[in-house]
């Protein structure tokens, strides 16, 4: 049997190369390259409609892209067909990649008929087939970690938006993923509830979790990121370390964007 070689240290957990995505005639992603190495926090910023969330959904194979490569730990997604007829060729590969890139959505997507504990346990049980006692222990641990361990037996409707989003983060963590993808995790929340979620994301960044975050919150992007990507009309306009990008924007578009988002 062939030995499985360990990944070189410099292999990104997630790499996107020359990604193109269109809806009919409308091209929304126009050749984007992004990578996240182990422990990196990469934030995607830009105006509404710049393509940030679409990139995340393509990376997680929730959307089909028409051109370009998506690599998970150095392994390229295998495709069949071309252009608008291009789809992933291997459903098992899709499932493996998706379960290793846990996504946290803007709308919490919790099941209303299940308790918070059941919500967090569901995917590890049904998708990964893990042992129930082990999954429950893990789920309780992650609910404690995000600060709502006392809410295990309540239903989503009984929680605030901030608590629901923290439950969604616990659910993502319970899959023990290689990376977390956050799609505007705080934009549906009131400002005071937003801070609860930002605190959790900051803690995860401090732990060295690999994350890709689409956010409208420039302060969070500046505080938690190793690398920030500014998108404009489906292309990368500017990118770099947060201190440099926010303090010395090189392009007129980024300067305009940052002044418009400054509070």
Asked if residue 176 belongs to a domain, the reply is: yes
Sheet hosting strand 26-36, strand order edge to edge:
26-36, 14-23, 67-72, 75-76
Q: Judge whether residue 2 has pLDDT over 50.
A: no
Please compute, for residue 103, the number of CA atoms within 13 A of its CA located in the half-sphere on the CB side: 19
What are the pLDDT digits (tens) for 203-220?
A: 999 999 999 999 999 999
Give the CATH number of the domain where residue 182 resides.
3.40.50.300
Asked if residue 164 belongs to a domain, the reply is: yes
3-state secondary structure of 212: strand
What is the domain count for the chain? Answer: 1
pLDDT band for position 191 (50/70/90)?
Answer: confident
Asked if residue 24 belongs to a domain, the reply is: no
- Is residue 173 within 8 Å of 101, Cβ to Cβ? no
Asked if residue 68 belongs to a domain, the reply is: no
pTM value is 0.92
The DSSP bridge pattern shows strands 227-232 and 41-45 to be parallel
Asked if residue 208 belongs to a domain, the reply is: no
- Is residue 114 within 8 Å of 136, Cβ to Cβ? no
Asked if residue 139 belongs to a domain, the reply is: yes
| Residue ranges making up the domain that contains 143 | 109-192
Asked if residue 37 belongs to a domain, the reply is: no
Asked if residue 219 belongs to a domain, the reply is: no
Distance CA 9, CA 15 (A): 14
Distance CA 122, CA 107 (A): 18
The DSSP bridge pattern shows strands 67-72 and 87-88 to be unpaired
Number of H helices, E strands in the chain: 9, 12
Average pLDDT, the chain: 93
Q: Judge whether residue 143 has pLDDT over 50.
A: yes
Indicate if the alpha-carbon torsion angle 67, 72, 75, 79 is positive or negative: negative
């Amino acid at each position: 049997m062939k030995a499985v070689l360990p990944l070189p240290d410099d292999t990104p957990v997630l790499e996107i190369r020359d990604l193109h995505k269109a809806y009919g005639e409308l091209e929304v992603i126009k050749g984007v390259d992004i990578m996240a190495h182990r422990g990196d926090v990469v934030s995607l910023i830009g105006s509404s409609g710049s393509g940030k969330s679409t990139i995340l959904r393509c990376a997680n194979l929730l959307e089909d892209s028409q051109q370009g490569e998506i690599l998970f730990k150095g392994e390229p997604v295998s495709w069949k067909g071309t252009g608008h007829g291009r789809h992933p060729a291997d459903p098992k590969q899709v499932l493996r990649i998706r379960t290793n890139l846990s996504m946290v959505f803007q709308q919490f997507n919790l099941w209303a008929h299940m308790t918070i504990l059941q919500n967090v346990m569901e995917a590890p049980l049904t998708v990964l087939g893990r042992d129930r006692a082990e999954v429950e222990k893990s789920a309780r641990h992650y609910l404690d970690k995000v600060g709502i361990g006392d809410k295990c037996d309540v239903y989503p409707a009984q929680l605030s938006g901030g608590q629901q989003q923290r439950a969604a983060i616990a659910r993502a963590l319970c899959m023990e993923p290689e990376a977390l993808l956050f799609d505007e995790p705080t934009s549906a929340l009131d400002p005071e509830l937003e801070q609860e979620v930002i605190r959790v994301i900051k803690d995860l960044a401090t732990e060295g979790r690999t994350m890709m975050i689409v956010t409208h919150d420039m302060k969070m992007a500046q505080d938690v990121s190793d690398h920030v990507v500014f998108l404009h009309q489906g292309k990368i306009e500017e990118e770099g370390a947060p201190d440099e990008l926010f303090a010395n924007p090189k392009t007129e578009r980024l300067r305009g964007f940052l002044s418009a988002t400054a509070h």
